Amino acid sequence: MRTAALMLSLVPAAVLAQSMPAPVPENEIFKREDIGHALAAPTPEAGHTAPSSANAPPDDGQWTMPSKNYASTRFSSLTEITVANVKSLKPDFSFSLAVNKGQEAAPIVADNTMYVVTAYPNIVYALDLTKPGAPLKWSFAPKPAPASQGVACCDVVNRGGTVDNGKYIFNTLDGQTIAVDVKTGRPLWRTQLGNINKGESMTMAPTVAQGRVYVGDSGGEMGVHGWVAALDESTGKLLWRGYSTGPDSEVLIGADFKPHYAAEQGKDLGVSSWPPEAWKIGGGGAWGWVTFDAELNTLYEGVGNPGPWNQQQRPGDNKWTAGMFARDPATGSAHWFYQYSPHDEHDYDGVNEQILLDMPFAGKMQKVLIHIDRNGYVYVIERQTGTVLSADPYGPVNSTKGIDLQTGRPIMNPDKETKLGETVRNICPTASGSKDWNPSSFSPQTGLLYIPHENMCMDWMSTEVNYIAGTPYVGALVHMKPGPGGNRGELTAWDPVQRKPAWADTENFPIWSGTVVTAGDVVFYGTMDGWFKAVNARTGELLWRYKVDSGIISQPVSYKGPDGHQYIAVLSGVGGWSGAVVSGPVDPRDGSAALGMVNVMSDLPKYTTAGGTLYVFSLPH
Amino acid sequence: MFSRFPTKWPLWLGFALASGCNNGSHVALPSREPLQLGVIDSAQTPGVGHSLVTIDPRAAAYYNNAEAVNTGKRLFSQYNCSGCHSSGGGGMGPDLMDDVWIYGSRLEQIHQTLVDGRPNGMPAWGGKVPDEQLWDLAVYVRSLSLPQTLAAETDNTPSQSPAPVPPEVDQDAGWAPPPETTNDYTSTIVGPSGPPTPTQATGTN
């Protein structure tokens, strides 16, 4: 071994390190004007875009759920921090999470207490905001099974908990949903839902409404049989579970199912759109955002990618993956489904956020759901029927040539279809999408969506893969690369009415944090190299930045403290799929590592190290 | 190469101490006499000679065996090892190209990891995969961090031309201080069992 070590030291490090791949040329990308489509021309005069009061009640200054409100606007109506004074923002206190893995959660603020759940081992901390330095009130260690780390596809992350009715409710990596008493930190109930031996883990943030807790599983890379479930908030008892694939009875498709498009109409499509038995290991986890619509009493469930990634092993539309269900919250019964990526070939999960707004379209106000998909399109969907009103690219796209609004289906680009044993180059967007799970915000003051996203593409070669329970079921050798221009990230302020960006800021690394926008017209977000930034919501101008201990991939929030002042909170702690090269540790010499992400992130270790700290900022007062 | 001692020595010493054995023992066990100075010197401490680990006879056939390494490469993909460990660089599972071995780098240790699994997510394959294939996999995994294998890398997908594993990598060469070290690793702390002998005082390394 010493011999080997000495010999290794003779090989210059430069030979072993990967160089950054060249960006995809601009001329390989389709123009937004050419592939963006809408059912009607913009009619901004028909009204002002805003969430309904049922989904976004008046702001009480708390931040009790990751999405801020059911509309998922992540808009804070607090006005103390403004474009003019944000340059004076100072750290107020910080708190070590004692876990150096990717921190994706939103700090939750309720009743003058802040709650944070960490990446695995999913420790929950409650901090007393009424006292100087916000001392710890309690912490709770759920001790998830260590083996669950082996079925987490993309770092051992957790996207946060939510406070409701005196409970902090969150998921653990090993597949439990747990409610703890906010006063004591003691668990009131814990329900085991996932089975790691089948590749199931849980990383998403639960949605709580009407006394029910909605959760889903992760494991689209492990051949899971994906599901969303509802639990009784007071007991943790399972009320219903709707699978993403299989016969209608398991998917909870019944007489109420009225999908808008023909491709979703038919019996047991969750079986017949797969090779025999393949639906049983077809993925379709609900690991991202599940949104409750208080106005229409509907649950919108984003469904993840089909498995395996090698598309030739699963001919068919692979219902009901890479799309979205509208379900009855009480029974799970499906109202409609829309498939963003039928027979997904590029790992374009459909789990990203759903933002519920009233928006002018075709001369009248419509109840829409805005979804910014991995496949590169901003979808504006009429959410009572599931009709796509418009779909426009917000990042580099060449895997599809637009969305056909008659059929609802993407127009596939045959040049970018993935193949067994053949490397298809420069596919845009990359597998993690033009944007991954990290949520956008919406300001009713500016009418703009603040989309934190990626500018990345990939080379892809499909490989044969066998299903072995509890192991990955992927079948692809992927190498990611920067998109046109070479900057890997972008913050785009998107006008959903005009269907185009108002402005865009570039970032060296992909943006893997969410955004929050305030009534002071300030947008906050974090970068993977550890800058927490504030920009002008109307122009994108950088107003303030602060360097934290590690890269940021979490969800910033804005709240009113017990002293009446406005605070901004965010977790540092780089990791996740894009940051695995730091938090893994994953070897920067293997471009295919971390599902091909390392190829485009091999320089991250030069910019940041693993960490995990809560930071809270305010103006001097 | 330290991996055997952390498990065996502390247990052995602990038993000896707890049962009150001391100076009269047939092995020179440390005692708890109040006048004695220093600390217990185990094999985890540099400068105390090295272990006498020999190569597991079951592993012998897999050294210098190009066929086994290439079979291991094929199996690595077929059994989805690549799903977690990628082309050696890791992802869901640890990096196998670096020089960090959580559970030991010796061929029989890697084999043991494959047979029994490990608690942080490594599945157990014993009884599910033929044992000779586990040895093929072990030797491929050991090859990934060999300088010869790393040097054969031509693009961003490493581990495609695995070098056979020479037996020398598992033969214990003993401990030596890191190059250019300034610490004096050659001194030995005075042992606790009676007056130091000249050998103990000067150390052997």
Q: ∠ CA A551-A552-A555 to the nearest 5 degrees? A: 170
Contact at CB, A8 and B123, closer than 8 angstroms: no
| Mean pLDDT across A598-612 | 96
| Mean pLDDT across A538-551 | 98
Say what the pLDDT of residue B188 is. Answer: 57
Instruction: Collect all residues with Cβ–Cβ distance below 8 Å to A130 and sequence separation of at least 6.
Output: A112, A562
A584 inside 8 A of chain B by CB? yes
B109 inside 8 A of chain A by CB? no
Instruction: Please give the mean pLDDT across all residues of chain B.
Output: 74
Which of A7-11, A221-225, B74-78 is predicted least confidently? A7-11
Shortest distance, CA A309 to any CA of chain B (angstroms): 11
Shortest distance, CA A487 to any CA of chain B (angstroms): 20
Question: Three-state DSSP class for A32?
Answer: helix
Contact at CB, A150 and B153, closer than 8 angstroms: no
Which of A3-7, A407-411, B111-115, B148-152 is predicted least confidently? A3-7
Tell me the three-class secondary structure of A241-270, residue by residue.
EEECCCCHHHHCCCCCCCCCCHHHCCCCHH
Q: Is the pLDDT of residue A99 over 80?
A: yes
B160 inside 8 A of chain A by CB? no
Residue of A nearest to B92 (CA): A153
A2: pLDDT confidence band, cut at 50, 70 and 90?
very low
Q: Is the pLDDT of residue A135 over 60?
A: yes
What order of strands is seen across the sheet that includes strand A37-38?
A37-38, A387-393, A377-382, A364-372, A354-361
Contact at CB, A16 and B153, closer than 8 angstroms: yes
Say what the pLDDT of residue B179 is. Answer: 72
Q: Is the pLDDT of residue B37 over 70?
A: no
Which residues of chain B neighbour A16 with C-beta distances below 8 Å? 150, 153
Name the DSSP class of A504: E
B193: pLDDT confidence band, cut at 50, 70 and 90?
low
Q: Is the pLDDT of residue B7 over 70?
A: no
Q: Is the pLDDT of residue A14 over 90?
A: no
Residue located via tokens 């008493």: A181
Say what the pLDDT of residue B205 is. Answer: 39
Shortest distance, CA B24 to any CA of chain A (angstroms): 38
The secondary element (H helix, E strand) that includes residue A96 is strand A90-96
Q: Which one of A592, A595, A598, A604 would you mutate to disrupt binding with B, by most B Cβ within 10 Å of its Cβ?
A: A592
B88 inside 8 A of chain A by CB? yes
Say what the pLDDT of residue B180 is. Answer: 72
CB half-sphere exposure, A526, CA atoms < 13 A: 33
Provide the percentage of residues in chain A whose pLDDT is more than 90: 96
Contact at CB, A589 and B158, closer than 8 angstroms: yes
Say what the pLDDT of residue B28 is. Answer: 45
Shortest distance, CA B189 to any CA of chain A (angstroms): 24
End-to-end CA distance of chain B, in Å? 16
Query: Is the distance from CB of A260 to CB of A387 less than 8 angstroms?
Result: yes
Question: Rg of chain B over CA atoms, in angstroms?
Answer: 21
Shortest distance, CA A476 to any CA of chain B (angstroms): 9
Contact at CB, A468 and B86, closer than 8 angstroms: no
Rounded (10°) angle between helices B131-143 and B107-116: 130
Complex prediction ipTM: 0.86
Find how far residue B98's CA is from the centre of its chain.
Answer: 14
Question: Three-state DSSP class for A318?
Answer: coil
Say what the pLDDT of residue A6 is. Answer: 38
Shortest distance, CA A469 to any CA of chain B (angstroms): 10
Q: What is the dihedral of CA A276, A281, A283, A285, to 10 degrees?
A: 120
Contact at CB, B121 and A21, closer than 8 angstroms: no
Which residues of chain B neighbour A579 with C-beta distances below 8 Å? none
Say what the pLDDT of residue B19 is. Answer: 40
Amino acid at A429: P
Residues of A marked active site are found at 221, 305, 347
Q: Is the pLDDT of residue B186 over 80?
A: no
Say what the pLDDT of residue A9 is. Answer: 39
| Mean pLDDT across A201-218 | 98
B102 inside 8 A of chain A by CB? no
From the list A398, A403, A394, the residue with the least C-alpha distance to A424 is A398
pLDDT, tens digit, 9 for 90 and up, residues A416-449:
999 999 999 999 999 999 999 999 999 999 999 9
Residue located via tokens 């100076």: B23
Say what the pLDDT of residue B192 is. Answer: 58
Contact at CB, A592 and B157, closer than 8 angstroms: yes
Which residues of chain B neighbour A471 with C-beta distances below 8 Å? 79-80, 83-84, 123
Say what the pLDDT of residue B174 is. Answer: 63
Residue located via tokens 């079925």: A151
Query: Is the distance from CB of A168 to CB of A196 less than 8 angstroms?
Result: no
Cβ contacts below 8 Å, chain A against chain B, sum to: 144
Contact at CB, B159 and A590, closer than 8 angstroms: yes
Contact at CB, B147 and A7, closer than 8 angstroms: yes
B156: pLDDT confidence band, cut at 50, 70 and 90?
confident
Contact at CB, B121 and A589, closer than 8 angstroms: no
pLDDT, tens digit, 9 for 90 and up, residues A377-386:
999 999 999 9
Find how far residue B42's CA is from the centre of its chain.
Answer: 16
Q: Is the pLDDT of residue B190 over 60?
A: no
Q: Specify the pTM.
A: 0.89
Residue of B nearest to A463 (CA): B77
| Residue A296 Cα distances to A369, A391, A607, angstroms | 12, 23, 46
- Closest Cβ opposite residue B158 in set A10, A479, A590: A590
A612: pLDDT confidence band, cut at 50, 70 and 90?
very high
Q: Is the pLDDT of residue A116 over 50?
A: yes
Which residues of chain A neighbour B98 with C-beta distances below 8 Å? 585, 587
Provide the percentage of residues in chain A whose pLDDT is more than 70: 97
Exposure string (b/e) for A29-40, b if CB count within 10 Å is 16 or more? bbebeebbbbee
CA A510/CA A529 separation, integer angstroms: 10
A2 inside 8 A of chain B by CB? yes
Say what the pLDDT of residue A8 is. Answer: 40
pLDDT, tens digit, 9 for 90 and up, residues A269-301:
999 999 999 999 999 999 999 999 999 999 999
Q: Which of residues 10-39 of B touch A (CB under 8 A)?
A: none
Say what the pLDDT of residue A4 is. Answer: 40
B157 inside 8 A of chain A by CB? yes
Phi/psi class of residue B147: alpha, beta or left (left: φ > 0; alpha: ψ in -120 to 50)? alpha
Q: Is the pLDDT of residue A334 over 90?
A: yes
Which residues of chain B neighbour A146 with C-beta distances below 8 Å? 119-121
Tokens of B121: 């997510």
Contact at CB, A1 and B1, closer than 8 angstroms: yes
